[in-house]
Amino acid sequence: MPSGTSGAARWGAHALTVFIAAVFLDSLRFKFTDAPKTQIIFGDLDSWAASLGAPGLFAHGGVFSQYVIGGAELAASAILIATMLAKPYRFLQPAGAFLSIAIMSGAIGFHLFTPLGVNVDNDGGSLFFTACGVWIGSWALLYLRRRELGEFLTRLRAFFAPAAR
């Protein structure tokens, strides 16, 4: 956080971190156990992809299977929680927020622009609106961690383009 940042902003970043990670971690019990609702979601997406000439894209062994998406959610959660707890590594928290944004951008897009729709299996839109909440929360976390984002980008730039000797 920038120096002079209020305690409310600091605790807000922690609250967002816990919220995002809790949503992702809770979803793993459905994705990793092949729950019926997960079968419906990924089955609908796979049928849609097959109609476009990409069968198996969302199937169990597909590039965007529930296990791959769940693994990405687990990685984002681990990064977010670990960097919240280990202050020297907090500069990595924006990486977790970016991963969360990427995951939820995909989820929101698939809800809006595929036959999956917003009201999956008559859930009243709860999955869609939760994805929107996580997406907004991830952007807010990036804003609250903007100093860490600057440090992360500086370190990333130094890693990929080291100074000439």
Query: What is the average pLDDT across 15-35?
Result: 98
* Mean per-residue pLDDT of the chain: 94
pLDDT at 165: 62
Task: Give residue 70's identity as a one-letter amino acid code.
Answer: G
The DSSP call for residue 164 is P
Within 8 A by CB and 6+ apart from 128, the residues are 107, 108, 111, 118, 119, 120
pLDDT value at 141 more than 80 = yes
The pLDDT, as a whole number, for residue 163 is 75
pLDDT value at 74 more than 70:
yes
Residue 19 — pLDDT band, cuts 50, 70, 90?
very high
Residue 111, CA atoms < 13 Å, CB-side half-sphere: 20
> Residue 2: is its pLDDT beyond 60?
no
pLDDT attached to residue 7: 81
Q: What is the mean pLDDT of residues 152-162?
A: 92
Domain ranges of the chain: 65-154
Angstrom distance (rounded) from CA 19 to CA 154: 28
Answer yes or no: is pLDDT of 86 > 60.
yes
Average pLDDT, integer, range 148-160: 95
In whole angstroms, what is the distance from residue 127 CA to residue 145 CA? 26
Q: Is 110 helix (H, G, I), strand (E, B) or coil?
A: helix
Residue 10: what pLDDT? Answer: 83
Is 85 a residue whose pLDDT tops 60? yes
At 162 the pLDDT is 78
